[in-house]
Structure 1
Amino acid sequence: MNQLVKAFTKSILAGDVHALLELYSSSIDSKIDNFTFYEKIIKPSMYRIGELWEKNQITVADEHLATATLKYLLATIFTHQEALENQPKALLFCIEGEHHSLGLELANEVFKEKQWNTRYLGANVPVKDALTFISAWKPHAIGISIGMTTELTRLKECIEEIRAHHQETDILVGGRLVSHYSLDFLEKSKVTSFYDLLELNEYLNDMSNGLVSLKG
């Protein structure tokens, strides 16, 4: 698996979509399902690229090319039927100040695999804009991604604002920060945190069962 991650990372940095598609196809042929591919191949590659950038071993341009290449790959290989209006709804966004959104894009794919109707707002979303969308669209779940400790205060404020207006809506938090730290305040606010996409997948299995009446 480590060799596949290395090859995947190298191809992303080279912007070689053809090589990436071949790696994906060979993985699926080897009976690796999409969730394992997200978690064991794509996510470690993303982290590796972030580490290279932090150590100045790649340039900003290299990182931008890698990001654009991976987004194109996701759009190419993960296609879904248009969501129906009576399916459960999920709103996903990165809090204001958080600019790394690829992990949340993968989470969005997990929701769609489970036939959720999703709205993905992307990176750096102000709380007031998120609240406006929540009030208008009324999602059953809100997914928030955070990767930097510098944005913890803003995450707390964001959750408090959502809870003040939408007490019963499920709030889910994931991202690199959640994978490395125990954020006790999330439990107090009745927020579910996720270490990885496999945990999210399991949670959505249970959650979707509880919302099955929406589809009837």
Structure 2
Amino acid sequence: MSTPTRAPGVAERAERLWDAVTTGDEYAAGDVVVKALDDGADPETLLLDVIGAVQRRVGQEWAANRLTVAQEHAATAINDRVIATFGYVLKRPEPHLGRVTVACVDGEWHAMPARLLAEVLRLRGFRVDYLGAQVPAPHLVAHLHRTGPDAVALSGSIATRLPTAHATITACQAAATPVIAGGAAFGPDGRYARLLGAEAWAPDARSAADRLAEPLPRPYTGHQPLDDLPHLADQEYTLVTRSSGRLVKSVLTGLEERIPAMRSYTDLQRQHTAEDLAHIVEFLATALYVGDGELFTGFLTWTAGILTARGVPAASLVPALDLLEAELRDFPRATELLGTARTHLAEPGAGSERTA
């Protein structure tokens, strides 16, 4: 009598999927999921603890410089197609709960978390309108008026999209549709979702689906964006945002004066440096918008880890912060944020905690 073959566990399936996506083998990746479903694996577990876990690992390995940008994009594309295959193979229940629109904030290209949530909601019995990446608020609101969903699930991974997320949340509420926010952009504890007035926040797809099982509170339609953020009255966010191009140019010129080696940079190297400086200014502006210095310091810590993994000292960011602070000397909140971040980066080992 033969011994039954043991069905692979979650970790083993995740490892097989990892091997498939990192070698670019789309068919092997699909086979992992189809075979797991044939073996009776729980579909939600496959989505979140296999596909979702592999996707998180892809991001971590890119940050640690163990995957190239091309490999990261290829792996993400394969995972996305595996989810599509998943939907064809699996028979979903007939919708018997509410209707939910799932969308990414305008400018947000990281659609995988929203895609996973949409599939989990369908498995739970929701009717789902999945709108995908970077959905402009006017188009989202037009969709709400046309379809009348019970809620919008708004996803954001990049914190610099928070001002746009705020406008989107307010627009959805003006259309009498409550919003549940999720994704790394809203903070690990959901602080920015609460700050920007969302009716709910969830740290992951399971929690979001659980929360949506009960109706969200109806939005207060008299709400105004400035009600949440009275510090915006000082205009620092607006002025820094409007002058971002000039700030990047001035800091780049100053760095070339301080660091003679930069004068021999190629055009491509100068372009990359300017892009890095633009990201710093953009995150500074976002921190001014939400009034939270931890957002800016956290971004610089992450950036320091990225640079360290690529052999660039984290302290190389400090001169840029010095120059930016000099440019913004008349902006008290901005200079305080820059000073705190500079002190943090100057500490021994700054950035090393993000490279493991």
Question: What TM-score comes out, normalization by structure 2 length?
Answer: 0.51
Partner of 1:78, secondary structure, is: helix
Query: Separation in 2 of the partners of 1:130 and 1:83?
Result: 25
Deviations 1:183-216 (CA, angstroms, capped at 9, x unpaired): 1552773521111122123234445xxxxxxxxx
From 130, 133, 139, the counterpart of 1:123 = 133
User: What is the aligned partner in structure 2 of residue 39 from structure 1?
Assistant: 48
Q: Distance in 2 between matches of 1:17 and 1:162?
A: 38
Amino acid at match of 1:191: E
Task: Choose the corresponding residue for 2:75, options 66, 74, 82.
Answer: 66
1:50 pairs with 2:50? no
In structure 2, the residue corresponding to 1:76 is in which secondary structure? helix
Of 90, 108, 123, which aligns to 2:118?
Answer: 108
- Percentage of identical aligned residues: 23
1:23 aligns with 2:23: no
Q: Give 1 or 2: higher strand fraction.
A: 1
What's 2:328 paired with? none
Structure number with larger C-alpha Rg:
2
Q: Is 2:84 the counterpart of 1:75?
A: yes
- Measure the CA separation in 2 of the matches of 1:137 and 1:151: 26
2:12 and 2:124 map into 1 onto residues whose CA distance is: 30
Aligned match of 1:90: 100
- Asked if 2 retains the 8 angstrom alpha-carbon contact of 1:114 and 1:204, the reply is no
Instruction: Report the residue type matching 1:189 in the other structure.
Output: G
| Cα distance in 2 between the residues matched to 1:126 and 1:184 | 20
1:144 aligns to what? 154
- Equivalence for 1:157: 167
Matched, 1:171 2:213: no
Give the 3 Å change call, closer, same or farther, for CA 72–51 of structure 1 in structure 2: same
Instruction: Return the letter of the residue paired with 1:152.
Output: L
Relative to structure 1, the CA distance from residue 31 to residue 199 in structure 2 (aligned partners, 3 Å threshold; closer, same or farther) is farther
**RMSD value, Cα:** 2.9
Are 1:199 and 2:207 counterparts?
yes
8 Å CA contact 2:159, 2:186 repeated in 1:
no
Segments of structure 1 that go 5 or more residues without pairing to the other structure are 208-216
1:5 maps to which of 10, 14, 17: 14
Q: Which amino acid aligns with 2:168?
A: C
State the distance in 2 between where 1:99 and 1:164 align.
25
In 2 relative to 1, CA 181–97 (structure 1 residues): closer, same or farther, beyond 3 Å?
A: farther
Q: How many residues align?
A: 205
What is the TM-score when the length of structure 1 is the normalising length? 0.80
The equivalent of 2:190 in structure 1 is 182
How far the C-alpha of 1:105 sits from its partner, in A, is 0.7
Contact 1:179-1:196 within 8 A present in 2 as well: no
User: How far apart, in 2, do the equivalents of 1:185 and 1:60 lie?
Assistant: 30
Task: Say whether the 8 Å CA contact 2:14–2:50 is kept in structure 1.
Answer: yes
Q: Distance in 2 between matches of 1:82 and 1:26?
A: 20
State whether residues 178 and 195 of structure 1, in contact with CA within 8 Å, keep that contact through their aligned partners in structure 2.
no
Determine the C-alpha separation between the residues in 2 that align with 1:154 and 1:31. 42
Classify the secondary structure of the residue corresponding to 2:85. Answer: helix
How far the C-alpha of 1:158 sits from its partner, in A, is 1.3
Q: Which moved more, 1:138-147 or 1:114-123?
A: 114-123
Corresponding letter in the other structure for 1:73: V
- Runs of 4+ deviating beyond 6 Å: none
* Separation in 2, partners of 1:18, 1:104: 24
Partner Cα distance (2:185, 2:134) in 1: 16
Code of the aligned partner of 1:111: L
Structure 1 residues 97 and 188: CA distance shift in structure 2, 3 A? closer
Residue 98 of structure 1 deviates from its aligned partner by 0.8
Of structures 1 and 2, the one with the larger relative CO (CA 8 A, separation 6+) is: 1
